[in-house]
Chains A and B, each alone.
Chain A
C-alpha cells in the first residue's frame, strides 16, 4: 500500500511526459516524414463544417454569452440530478418527490431572477 501510494507519482510523471511527447512527435518529428506534402488552395483553407469560410477566426464574442452559458450550466446540472431521480423513482419514497419539487422550485426562482434582471433579452 505504502509503495503504491508513493510510486503513483512516478506513474503520473511518466504519463505526463508521454502525454506531452506524443503529440509533439506526431505533428513535428515523425509526421513530416510519413505524410505526403501536396497542399492545394482548398486544403489549406480553414475547415468550417463544409461551408465557405468567412471572416477571421479571432472573433470577439458578446459578453452576454457568458450569462447564457451560466444559465445553461444551471439547467444542465438540473438534468443531471433529475435523470437518475426519474430512473429510480419507483424505488424512492414520496419524500423524493417533495425534495425534487423543492429543488426545481429553487431553480425556478433563479430563472425568474435572471429573467427579471434582463439576462434573457439580448439588448
Chain B
C-alpha cells in the first residue's frame, strides 16, 4: 500500500483553496451576528478564486503530462484544467454580481449564498477533473444540491420556491436515470474508471451485449441532458431561471452548463469514441458505433434543442425566461461539435463555452442592473436604456450580437467554427438547422435592442451602476469584442494547452 502522505497533494491545490475558503466562510457566518454585513465574504471568495485561478494556470502545460491521485479518481489533465479555468472565472464574476444583488429583505441568509456558490463551484471542478464515474457523479451531485438550495434562496418568494422545488424533482429523476444507465455500462465492463471502461467496452459491444451498450449510453445521455438543459430535459429551465435570484441564474446558465458539457464530453469522447476504431473479430472490418448511431442521436437532440429553444423564446415577455430559452438554444449549438466529431471538436466546445461565459455573464449583469432599477423583469424594463446609460446600452448590444452570432464578437467566431466543423463532417442538414434557427434568434435578441434604442422609457434619469459591476461589464465586454477581433489569441491558447490524447491517457502518479 502506498503511503498516502507521499502522494502529490499539490495537484489538488485549486480545489483545496476553494474548500478552505468555503469552510472558513461557513464558520465565520455562524459566528457573525445576524445584522453584520456579509458582503465581505463575497470579496474573500473572489480573492480565493483568484488564488485558485493562479494554481490552475500553473497546472496548464504540465511537463509530466497527465498526473493522477487515488487510481484516477482525481486527475490533472489539460482538458480538466481548461474547464476549471472557465468555472473559476465565471464564478468569480458571478460573485461580484451577487455582492451587488443581494438584498437583505429578499435573501435573509445571504451568508449561505456565498458558501453554497463555492461548494457548487467545487462540484463543477470535480466534474472536470476525474476519470471515475463515481467521483464524477459525486461532483455532479455536489453542484446540483448546492444549486437546488441557491435557486430557492428568496425564501418568501413563491416563484423562487417553485423554482427550487421543480429543480429538485427534475434533478433527482435525471440523476436516477443517469445512474441506471451508468450501472449497465459498469455491469458490462466491471470498472468505474472510464478509461479502463473504454478499453473493455468494445469487447462487450462486439459480444452479444450491443443492446445494453445502447441502453446504457442512451440513459446516461438523457440523465445528463438536464444539466445542460437540452431536449428531452429542458422544460425546467424557464421556470427555474425565472424564479432563482439573477446571479444564480447566471451561475446556472454558465458554470452549471459548462460543467455538464465537461462531464458529457469526458464520458462520451473517452468512452464511446474508441468503439469507432474497434475491429470486428468475426469479419475483420472496422466497426462504426459512435460515428453513426450515437452521433446521429446527438445530432437529432442538438437540432431539436436549437429549434425548440429558439422558437419558444420568440413569445417570451419576461427577460429571464427569454434568456433561459436562449441558453437552451445555445446548448444545442454546443452539442453540434459532439455530434460531428472531428479532431478540433473539443477545442470548438471549449472556445464556444469561453465566448458563452463572457457574453452571458455580461447579459445577466446588465439584466441585474436594469431589473433592480425597474423592479420588474419584463422586457419593457429595457426601454430607453440607451438614453439613460449609453455605455451600458452599447455593451448590452454587443453581448446580444454575440449571443445571436454576428461578426466582430466572440459568439460569431465560436458559432462559425462549429458550423464549419459540421460542414466538414458532411452534416449539412444539421448545419442548415443551425443557420435557420440562428436567424430566428435574431428576432428576439433584437427585440431587446429595439427596446433599448427606440422605445421611450418611463424615466430619462441616468442609471447609476456600482463600480464593481462596471468592472464586470468592462471585462466581459472587452473579452467579447477582443476575442471577436483577434480570435487567434484564444484559439491558440486552447490549442497550445489542450492535448486531446490526455483524455485517453491513464497518466502517472508520483
Do the two shown chains form a genuine complex with each other?
Answer: yes
A: which residues have CB within 8 A of B?
A: 2, 93-96, 98-99, 106, 109, 112-113, 116
Are A94 and B26 closer than 8 Å at their CB atoms?
no
Digit string of B1-34 for contact with A (CB within 8 Å is 1, else 0)?
0011100000000000000000100110010000
- With a cutoff of 8 Å between Cβ atoms, the chain B residues found around residue A2 in the complex are 207-209
Tell me how far the C-beta of A57 lies from the nearest C-beta in chain B, rounded to whole angstroms. Answer: 31
Do most interface residues of chain B lie in helix, strand or loop, or is the interface mixed? helix
Q: How far is the CA of A109 from the CA of B5 in the complex (A)?
A: 24
Q: Which residues of chain A have C-beta atoms less than 8 A from B27's C-beta?
A: 109, 112
Do A116 and B208 touch across chains, with their CB atoms under 8 A apart? Answer: no
Instruction: Provide 18 A-B residue pairs closer than 8 Å at the C-beta atoms, listed in order of the A residue.
Output: A2-B207, A93-B3, A93-B4, A93-B5, A94-B5, A95-B4, A95-B5, A96-B4, A98-B5, A99-B4, A106-B23, A109-B26, A109-B27, A112-B27, A112-B30, A113-B26, A113-B30, A116-B30
Cα distance, A95 to B6, chains bound together (Å):
9
Contacts of A93 in B (CB 8 A): 3-5
Shortest CB-to-CB span from A92 to chain B, Å, is 9
Name the residue on B nearest A91 (C-beta).
Answer: B1
For the residues of A in contact with B, the DSSP-based class is helix
CB distance from A104 to the nearest CB of B (A): 13
A-B contacts at CB below 8 angstroms, number: 22
B190 smallest CB distance to A (angstroms): 12
* Complex Cα–Cα for A97 and B26 (A): 24
Q: Bound state CA distance, A98 and B4, in angstroms?
A: 11
Q: By the criterion CB–CB under 8 Å, are B23 and A109 in contact?
A: yes
What's the least CB distance linking B205 to chain A, in Å?
14
**CA A95 to CA B4, docked complex, whole Å:** 6
- The count of chain B contact residues (Cβ–Cβ below 8 Å) is 10
CA–CA, A2 to B26, complex, Å? 52
B residues less than 8 Å from A94 (CB atoms):
5
Closest to A110 in B: B26
> How far, in whole Å, are A19 and B4 apart by their CA atoms in the complex?
47
CB distance from B508 to the nearest CB of A (A): 21
CB contacts (< 8 Å) of A96 on chain B: these are: 4
**Shortest Cβ distance from B18 into chain A, in angstroms?**
14
Contacts of A95 in B (CB 8 A): 3-5
Separation in Å of the A51 CB from the closest CB of chain B?
40
Cα(A94)–Cα(B27), bound, Å = 27
CA distance A38 to B5 in the complex (A): 70
Measured CA separation A109–B23 after assembly (Å): 8
Minimum Cβ distance to chain B for residue A106 (Å): 7
Complex interface: chain A residues within 8 A of B208 (CB): 2
How far in angstroms is the closest Cβ of chain A from B84?
22
Q: How far is the CA of A112 from the CA of B29 in the complex (A)?
A: 11
> A-B pairs with the 5 shortest C-beta distances?
A95-B5, A95-B4, A116-B30, A93-B3, A2-B208
Bound: A112/B5 CA distance, A = 29
**How near does chain A come to B374, taking the closest CB pair, in angstroms?**
35
Determine how close the nearest CB of chain A comes to the CB of B26; give it in whole angstroms.
Answer: 6
Which B residues touch A109, using CB under 8 A? 23, 26-27
B207: nearest chain-A partner, CB-CB: A2
Q: How far is the CB of A82 from chain B (nearest CB, A)?
A: 18
Closest to A99 in B: B4
Whose C-beta in chain A lies nearest to the C-beta of B208?
A2
- In the assembly, what is the distance between CA of A112 and CA of B23, in Å? 12
Which residues of chain A are near B23, meaning CB under 8 Å?
106, 109
In the docked arrangement, what's the CA distance between A95 and B208, Å? 46
Task: Contacts A2-B208, A106-B23, A109-B26 known; list 6 others, CB within 8 Å.
Answer: A93-B5, A94-B5, A95-B3, A95-B5, A112-B27, A112-B30
A112 to B30 Cα, complex, angstroms: 8
How many angstroms from the CA of A95 to the CA of B5 in the assembled complex? 6
Q: How many angstroms from the CA of A94 to the CA of B4 in the assembled complex?
A: 9
- Residues of A within 8 Å of B207, CB to CB, are 2
Smallest Cβ-Cβ distance to A116: which chain B residue = B30
Give Cα distance in the complex from A95 to B70, angstroms: 14
Q: How far is A79 from B27 in the complex, measured between Cα atoms in Å? A: 24
Residues of B within 8 A of A98 (CB): 5
Cα(A94)–Cα(B370), bound, Å: 56
Which B residue's beta carbon lies closest to that of A113?
Answer: B30
Complex: chain A residue closest to B27, CB-CB: A109
Q: Specify the chain A residue showing the minimal Cβ separation from B23.
A: A109
**B181-237 interface with A by 8 A CB criterion:** 207-209
Return the CB mask of B97-141 against A: 1 if under 8 Å, else 0.
000000000000000000000000000000000000000000000
